[in-house]
Amino acid sequence: MDLFAESYVKGSIVQEIFYNEENGYGVYLMRVTEASEELETKEITVVGHLLRPHEDEVYTCYGQWREHPKFGRQYHVNRAKKELPRSKDAIIKYLSSGLFEGVGKKTAEKIVEHLGTDALEKIAANPDVLTDIKGVTPARAQTIADSLHEHQALEQAMVFLYQFGMGPALALKIVQTYKHHTITIIKENPYRLIDDIDGVGFRRADEIAKQQGLAEDSPERFQAAVMFVMKESALSDGHVYLTWEELNEKVDDLLGSEAVALFTDEVREQCLTGMVDEERLILEDDRYYLPSLYYAEYGLAMRVKDLLAHQVDTAFPVSELYRVIGEVEEEWQIAYAERQREAMITALSSSLMILTGGPGTGKTTVIRGICQMFARLHEISIDPDDYEGTDKPFPIRLAAPTGRAAKRMAETTGLPAMTIHRLLGWKGDFFEHHADHPIEGSLLIIDEVSMLDIWLANQLFRAVPKGMQVILVGDQDQLPSVGPGQVLHHLLQVKEIPRVELTEIFRQAEDSSIIRLAHSLKNGEVPDDLLERHPDRRFFSCKRDQALSVIVQTVESAVQKGYALFDVQVLAPIYKGPVGVERINQEIQQALNPKTPDKKEISWGESVFRLGDKVLQLVNHSEHPIYNGDMGIICAIDEQAGADQPVLWVQYDRLEVPYKRNQLNQISLAYACSVHKAQGSEFSIVIFPVLHAYRRMLKRNLIYTAITRSKSYLIMCGEKEAFVEGIKQQRGEERNSRLKDLIEEDW
C-alpha cells in the first residue's frame, strides 16, 4: 500500500440511509469495487455532502475513515466524483430515475437497446440520436439532453469548486444556489459569492479570483471591495453611510498599498456610479449608503417628524396632571422628586419623549408612575386580568430590545412587557406589523433604547399607529447598539424632542457602592477607593496570566456558596485570545462541568456542549419565542440523532427548545459572554476582567455598561492601569448618521 497516496473508495450506491434536504448531508450504503486500501467488507457506509446520489450510481469518494461510537467505521467524504453509469442495467436505472422528465423504464430500455452502453455520451454529444427511437420527439430528445447536461454540470461544478480548497458543505451550498450556472458565474465574477453565499468573505472570493487569473485591477474586484467595506462599516463600526474619502480609504486598507495605483480616481468614480445605477448603493451628496440603511434612516426620520408634528389627542391641563401625581403619591406612599414629576408630566403631554438616566435614578419608578397616571387620566384599567381572554388590546405596550430586558421590565412594572420583535410580530423573515397594520394600544414605552439600531428603530416607528404616545427610556452612557446607527444618541441631539434626564441617585448610596462607582465613571472619574474592599464590590489585582485562574476560582466559589449559574456572569470585552470569552468559557466549563464517562456531550466546531452547560442564544430564534441574548441550560443531548432530528435541548425559563445539528451555531457557552451581549441584562454577580490585553475595546462606555450589569456584587480583576486608561477613552468615534439633520430639516 502506498502510504502517501490519497485515500479513496469507489463503488455503487446501494441505499440512502439518511439525507438532509437543507444542507445536503447524507449517509449512504456503498458496494465498493475499488479502494486505495484493502477493506474487510465490500459494503461500507459513506457519509458527507454529495449531490444526492441515486441507487446504483457509481461514485469515487476521497476522504478518510472514522470510527463512530454507535455506527462503527464510516468513510467521511471530503470530495466526490460521480462516474457515468456503464452497465446496461445501471444506465436504464439512471435514465428512469426521475431525473429525466418523461423517461420511464420502457423508454429507458429502448434507449439503451438502440444506443448501447455508451448511450449517455452519445446523447450528450447529439440529442438527435434519440429521435430514431419510437415515441421520442425532437423536443423530448432535447429535454433529455438538457437534463443530462445539467446533471453533468452540477458534478463538474463540485469538482471545479474543490480545486479552491473548499470543503464539500460549502461547495454543495454554492452548487445548490447557482445550479448549473455555477462555473460560469464564478468564472465571470467570483465576487458574487460574497453577496450570495453565507460564509464567503472578501478574502476567499479574492483568492478564487486570483487563482482564476482575474485581473487585479478589474472593476468587479473594486466593487466587491466596496460592498464588503460598506457592510463591515455598518456592522462593525455602526456607520449608516460612508463618505467618498472614508469609503476609498477603507477599500485601500482592504486591498493593500497597491490599490492606489490599480484603481485611479476616475476608475473608482466609474465603478461607484455603476453601483449607484444598479441600486446596489445610494448616493446623496458625497455620502454612500447601503439601500436598506438609507431607507431605514429616512423612514425613521420621517416618522419621528410625524410624531413631533402630531399633538397629543387628549392633552390634560398641567393642574390636572399634578392632581393625579398627588393621588398616585398618596396611594403608593412615595414623594416624587421634582425632576421625576417633570418627567411624568412631559411624558403624558407629549406625543414623543425621551427619558434618560443612569442606574438607580428612578427610571422604573417613573415608568410605573406614568402608567398609573395614564390609566387614571383616561379612566381605563391597567390590570392585565381585565384583558385576559378578551379581544381588547392592553392599552399600554411595554417592550425592550432583548428578552431579558423585557422580562425585567415586566417584573419591575408589574405590567405585560415583551421584546420589540414580538411586539412587531416577527415571523422569522418579516414583521407582521407595519404602517398598514400597526400595533394596537395608546401608549408605547420602550426601555433600553441605547440598544436600538436604525433598522429596528425604523420597523418599530413604522408600526406605531396615529395617536399613540411614545416614550423612549435609556441610559445614554451605555454602549451603542450592536447594529448600525446610534439612535438614542442622535435623537437626543434633536432639540425638538422633549426629554428629561434623571440624575439624582435614589437607591441608598450605602446600599450600593456599584452605583456610586458607575456615576463617577460616567463622568470620567476613577474613585480613589477602586481597589478597596466594599461590601458589594472588589478588585483583585492580577496580571494577564493569572486572570483566568482568578476568574475560574471566583465563579467556583460563588457556585459553592449557592449562587445559581444564571446569577453569576463573567463579562469580557473580546472573544478571541488567551483571556477572551471563548477561552474563559472553556476553563469554567472544565471546572464546573467537566467531561465524565457518563455525561453526554456533543462537539460543534471548537466548542463542546455538555449536559448541564449554561448556553446563550445568539440570534432571534425563528420558531420559538427565544431571543438573541437569552440564556438557558442544556437539559438533554442525543449525539447520535440524524441530521434532521434534534441533537440537543435547552431549557429556557419555561420553554424547552430543541436544536438540530445545523442549528448549533445559534448557541454558545455562556459562563462568560461579551459585554455587548450582556446589554439589557442584569446579574446578581458580575465578574469583569480588566486587562491591557483588551486595550482596543476597553472604553468608558464599555466599562460603564459592564459594571452596571451587576445587581448585588461586582468583582473586577486585572490591571488597575488598564481600567484607568479605559475610562479615559471616551466613547468610540461618532457613527455616521444623518438622523438628527433629517429630522430637523424642512423637507
| Binding site members for ATP | 360-364
- 369 in contact with ligand ATP (CB under 6 A): no
Q: Per the structure block, which three cell numbers stand in for 628?
A: 438573541
DSSP H helical ranges for 475-568: 487-492, 513-522, 544-560
Cell 445539528 maps to which residue? 661
Q: Which is nearer to ligand ATP, 519 or 610 (CB)?
A: 519
- 513 in contact with ligand ATP (CB under 6 A): no
Residue numbers belonging to the annotated binding site:
360-364
Q: How far apart, in whole angstroms, are the C-alpha atoms of residue 2 and residue 255?
A: 43
Q: Which is nearer to ligand ATP, 168 or 680 (CB)?
A: 680
Q: Which stretch binds ligand ATP (CB under 6 A): 123-131, 141-149, 330-338, 733-741?
A: 330-338
Q: Which is nearer to ligand ATP, 53 or 359 (CB)?
A: 359
Q: Which is nearer to ligand ATP, 10 or 537 (CB)?
A: 537
Q: Which is nearer to ligand ATP, 340 or 737 (CB)?
A: 340
- Give the interface size with ligand ATP as a residue count (CB under 6 A): 15
Binding-site member from 365, 617, 736, 737 for ligand ATP (CB under 6 A)? 365
CB neighbours of residue 564 within 10 Å: 11
- 651 in contact with ligand ATP (CB under 6 A): no
Q: Which stretch binds ligand ATP (CB under 6 A): 188-196, 361-369, 563-571, 657-665?
A: 361-369
Taking the complex as a whole, how short is the minimal distance between the CB of residue 380 and ligand ATP, in angstroms? Answer: 23
- 718 in contact with ligand ATP (CB under 6 A): no
Q: Which stretch binds ligand ATP (CB under 6 A): 14-22, 34-42, 208-216, 354-362?
A: 354-362
CA atoms in the 13 A half-sphere facing the CB of 239:
18
Q: Which is nearer to ligand ATP, 48 or 362 (CB)?
A: 362
Burial class (CB in 10 A: 0-12, 13-18, 19+), 229: buried
Q: How far apart, in whole angstroms, are the C-alpha atoms of residue 577 and residue 586?
A: 12
Taking the complex as a whole, how short is the minimal distance between the CB of residue 372 and ligand ATP, in angstroms? Answer: 13
- Residue 50 neighbours by CB under 8 Å, 6+ apart: 24, 26, 28, 59, 61, 77, 80, 168, 172
Taking the complex as a whole, how short is the minimal distance between the CB of residue 714 and ligand ATP, in angstroms? Answer: 13
Taking the complex as a whole, how short is the minimal distance between the CB of residue 414 and ligand ATP, in angstroms? Answer: 13
Binding-site member from 334, 435, 619, 724 for ligand ATP (CB under 6 A)? 334
For the four alpha carbons of 546, 548, 554 and 557, in that order, the dihedral sign comes to negative
b/e per residue 354-365 (b: at least 16 CB within 10 A): bbbbbbbbbbbb
- Residue 733 neighbours by CB under 8 Å, 6+ apart: 237
- 474 in contact with ligand ATP (CB under 6 A): no
Q: What is the 3-state secondary structure (H, E, C) of 623-649?
A: CCCCCCCCEEEEEEECCCCCCCCEEEE
- 359 in contact with ligand ATP (CB under 6 A): yes
Cell 449531490 maps to which residue? 51
- 363 in contact with ligand ATP (CB under 6 A): yes
Q: Which is nearer to ligand ATP, 200 or 344 (CB)?
A: 344
Taking the complex as a whole, how short is the minimal distance between the CB of residue 503 and ligand ATP, in angstroms? Answer: 11
Binding-site member from 362, 401, 484, 718 for ligand ATP (CB under 6 A)? 362
Q: Are 30 and 44 in contact (CB under 8 A)?
A: yes
- Residue 401 neighbours by CB under 8 Å, 6+ apart: 419, 420, 448, 451, 452, 456, 680
Which of 588, 598, 590, 592 shows the shortest CA–CA distance to 637? 598
Q: Which stretch binds ligand ATP (CB under 6 A): 7-15, 355-363, 647-655, 718-726?
A: 355-363
- Report the alpha-carbon angle 560-564-566, nearest 5: 135
How far CA 459 is from CA of 338, 452, 498, 627, 740, in Å, comes to 35, 11, 22, 17, 18
Taking the complex as a whole, how short is the minimal distance between the CB of residue 732 and ligand ATP, in angstroms? Answer: 23
Q: Which is nearer to ligand ATP, 334 or 531 (CB)?
A: 334
Taking the complex as a whole, how short is the minimal distance between the CB of residue 569 and ligand ATP, in angstroms? Answer: 16
Binding-site member from 356, 361, 554, 705 for ligand ATP (CB under 6 A)? 361
Pairing of strands 499-502, 469-474: unpaired
How far CA 481 is from CA of 455, 680, 740, in Å, comes to 11, 11, 17
- Residue 500 neighbours by CB under 8 Å, 6+ apart: 339, 342, 343, 346, 353, 354, 355, 356
Pairing of strands 672-674, 568-572: parallel
- 303 in contact with ligand ATP (CB under 6 A): no
Q: Which is nearer to ligand ATP, 247 or 406 (CB)?
A: 406
Taking the complex as a whole, how short is the minimal distance between the CB of residue 726 and ligand ATP, in angstroms? Answer: 22
Q: Which is nearer to ligand ATP, 190 or 359 (CB)?
A: 359
- 357 in contact with ligand ATP (CB under 6 A): yes
- 360 in contact with ligand ATP (CB under 6 A): yes
Taking the complex as a whole, how short is the minimal distance between the CB of residue 184 and ligand ATP, in angstroms? Answer: 57
Q: Which is nearer to ligand ATP, 129 or 355 (CB)?
A: 355
Binding-site member from 191, 222, 289, 336 for ligand ATP (CB under 6 A)? 336
Q: How far apart, in whole angstroms, are the C-alpha atoms of residue 31 and residue 21?
A: 24
Taking the complex as a whole, how short is the minimal distance between the CB of residue 337 and ligand ATP, in angstroms? Answer: 5
Binding-site member from 12, 340, 356, 701 for ligand ATP (CB under 6 A)? 340
Pairing of strands 607-610, 601-604: antiparallel
By CB under 6 A, name the binding residues for ligand ATP.
334-337, 340, 357, 359-365, 506-507
